[in-house]
Amino acid sequence: MSVVTLLTVQNTQTVDAIEMLTPDFALAQLAVVLDDIPPMAAKTGALGNAAMIEAIAARASSFRFPLVVDPVMISKHGVPLMEESAIAMLRRSLLPHAFLVTPNQMEAASLAEIDVYDLETMEASARILCERGAKNVLVKGGRVGSESIDLLVTCDGAYPIGGPWIPTQSTHGTGCVLSAAITARLAKGESLWEAVTGAKSFILDAIRTAPSLGKGLGPVNLLQ
C-alpha cells in the first residue's frame, strides 16, 4: 500500500512539473492504510516540502514498525524534488523516527552539513545523522574505481558494502528501488544487515538486466 505525497510530470529525459498534495490529504491516505493493512515496515520517499515532512514526522512518532527514510532531494535529471526549507525540517523532525536513513553522497552532505566525497567523509556524515536521531544510516557512495560501494553505519560500526560498477543509462529509480527492497526485507523479518545486502544484490541485478527503454535514463528491471 502507498501514500501519495506529490505528483510529477516526467519521462526518462526530464521532470517537467511537480504538484504537491496537501499534508491533510496525505495523512488521510495514511490513516486508512494503517487502519486496514498495518505494515511490518514502511519507507518515505519524495516528501517535497517542510509542511509535508512535519506532518509525516508527527504521525511517525506513533509508529511501532521500522521506518526507512529515503531523503529524496533531486531527480536523476537534476531537478529539485525537495524545497530548501524542507531539509532543516527533515533533520529536526523526521530523522529521530528513522530506523534507517538512505542518503546518497549529496543528500548526506546536505543533511550533515559537511562535504562528503569518500568513505571517510561518508562515515563522518552518517555519524552526524546518528547524533541527530537516526538509528542507522546507509550512505550510497556510487562509483569507486570499478566498484559501487555503499557504507552502512550502525551503533556497532561502519561496514562497506561493495559490488560491481555497471556502466549503463538505465539508472532511473535506483535509490527508490533500493530503499523499497530494504523495507520489504525488514518487513519479512530479516536483520538490517540481511536486508541491506540482499537489497544491494537485488538492485545490482535490476540494473544489470534493465531493458533499454526511452531516450534518457531508463528504468531498472523490477521483474527479475
- Decide if 12 is catalytic: no
Grid coordinates representing 14 are 526530464
For residues 204 and 195, what is the distance between their CA atoms, to the nearest angstrom? 14
Does residue 121 have an active-site annotation?
no
Q: Locate all alpha helices (DSSP H) within the chain, ordered by sequence.
A: 23-36, 50-60, 84-89, 105-112, 119-131, 174-187, 192-208
45, 141, 173, 218: which is the annotated catalytic residue? Answer: 173
Per annotation, catalytic residue among 140, 183, 197, 218: 140
In angstroms, rounded to a whole number, what is the distance separating the alpha carbons of residues 36 and 72? 27
The catalytically annotated residue of 5, 44, 102, 174 is 174
All cell numbers assigned to 131: 547524533
Q: Respond yes or no: is residue 198 known to be catalytic.
A: no
Annotated catalytic residue 171: yes
C-alpha angle 110-115-117 in degrees, rounded to nearest 5: 110
Candidate list 76, 168, 171, 216, residue with the active-site label? 171
Catalytic one of 175, 183, 197, 200: 175
Phi, psi of 110 (to 5 degrees): -65, -45
104-141 in b/e form (b: 16+ CB < 10 A) is bbebbbbbbeeebeebebbbbbbebbbebebbbbbbbb
Task: Check 176, 198, 214, 216 and give the catalytic one.
Answer: 176
- Enzyme catalytic residues: 140, 171, 173-176
